[in-house]
Structure 1
Amino acid sequence: MLSRAEMPGGGAKPWPQKRTGRHHAGSIRSPGFIRGGFAHGVRGPKTWFYMLPDSIRLKGLCVALTIKHSQDDLVIVDDFGSLPGPDPQFLHDLADARNWGYSILFVDM
């Protein structure tokens, strides 16, 4: 949406200020005219991003874990202490070796 300054044309007054009986007009591209510019238009792209409430996000996680469990794709490890050291590369290599892909979640409590 273009403002009156960004519209093409409309550089001169369309008719004299006085003695015509018409309203005072400075440009045919002002917002009062048809095919004129917008007075207070949206500037820039609008973002549609919003955060879901925590309850809905938790419900989505529960549904995803339930589906993974029903497809036998859920692996639960209760003790990370038996793993060799706190090396994050080991966990990455383990996920690659077992073809777990990108849908993997490590939670350490």
Structure 2
Amino acid sequence: MTIIKTITYKFQDETNTTNTETIQLKISEDEKLQMYCIHRSLKNQLTNGRIRNADTKTRSEVRGGGKKPWKQKGTGRARAGSTRSPLWRGGGIIFGPRNKIYKSKVNKKEKELAINTLIYNKAGNTRVIDNLSITTEKPKTKIAMNIFNQLDINIKQYKNILLVVDKKTTFIYMSFRNIPNIELIEAKNLNVLSLLKAEIIIVTNKSLDIINKK
């Protein structure tokens, strides 16, 4: 059975006025079901990111071997039709690894429950900012660092910081890309792995609206 949980975040705008933003999340009452959905969604995400590049050639793909090595009868040796037989050195490979793209499926509702559960559980480690507009002529890492200083967040204390924005513009990306422990992601692409890794989550006000609608 699912229930509706409400989270109210406080944030300050550019005029230092304290505002609130409320989102509603549908999560399961059963903790075992919560962990099951998170596990399934994480496994699905990790599986779909796998590609096996190892590739061996079968006897039909190995070059050469068109001529019969010796006649069929009268030599006293075993019959041989091609030097590219898997029994021969330099021949094809039997049941060798092939290129493969791994795919798995998870129900949409399970994935939504997993993400909602993680957002709810990490509400205490979530900070909301009014916006993330960078209006300088050139993107600068210094500007990105100033944002964390204003929030009184020492980024050196955290291994993984998740920054959720409504739109990943070139200026925002260029400003934050040199900070190694920050993952920049759009709200529409929020996923289980990023939420699990994050020690602290910073969300813009517009991103919360997108998450609430999703």
TM-score interval, smaller chain: 0.5 to 0.7
Gaps spanning 5+ residues in structure 2: where?
A: 1-55, 133-163, 166-185, 188-206
The match for 2:75 is 20
The match for 1:10 is 65
**Which deviations, in whole Å up to 9, do the C-alpha atoms of 1:17-41 show, x marking residues without a partner?**
1112222211110233233114666
Identical columns (%): 30
The match for 2:168 is none
3-state SS in 2 of match to 1:73: strand
- Largest Rg, 1 or 2: 1
Identify the structure with bigger relative contact order (alpha carbons < 8 Å, sequence gap 6+). Answer: 2
1:98 matched to 2:131: yes
The match for 2:103 is 49
The answer to which structure has the higher strand fraction is 2
1:73 matched to 2:112: no
Gaps spanning 5+ residues in structure 1: where?
A: 75-96
What TM-score comes out, normalization by structure 2 length?
A: 0.31
Deviates more, 1:34-43 or 1:58-67: 34-43
What TM-score comes out, normalization by structure 1 length?
A: 0.54
The answer to which structure has the higher helix fraction is 2
Task: Tell me how many residue pairs correspond in the alignment.
Answer: 84
Quote the offset at 1:5 in angstroms: 2.8
3-state SS in 2 of match to 1:12: coil
**Which deviations, in whole Å up to 9, do the C-alpha atoms of 1:17-71 show, x marking residues without a partner?**
111222221111023323311466666x31112124668632343123321x112
Partner Cα distance (2:75, 2:94) in 1:
26
Partner Cα distance (2:116, 2:85) in 1:
52
The match for 1:83 is none
Partner Cα distance (1:60, 1:106) in 2:
12
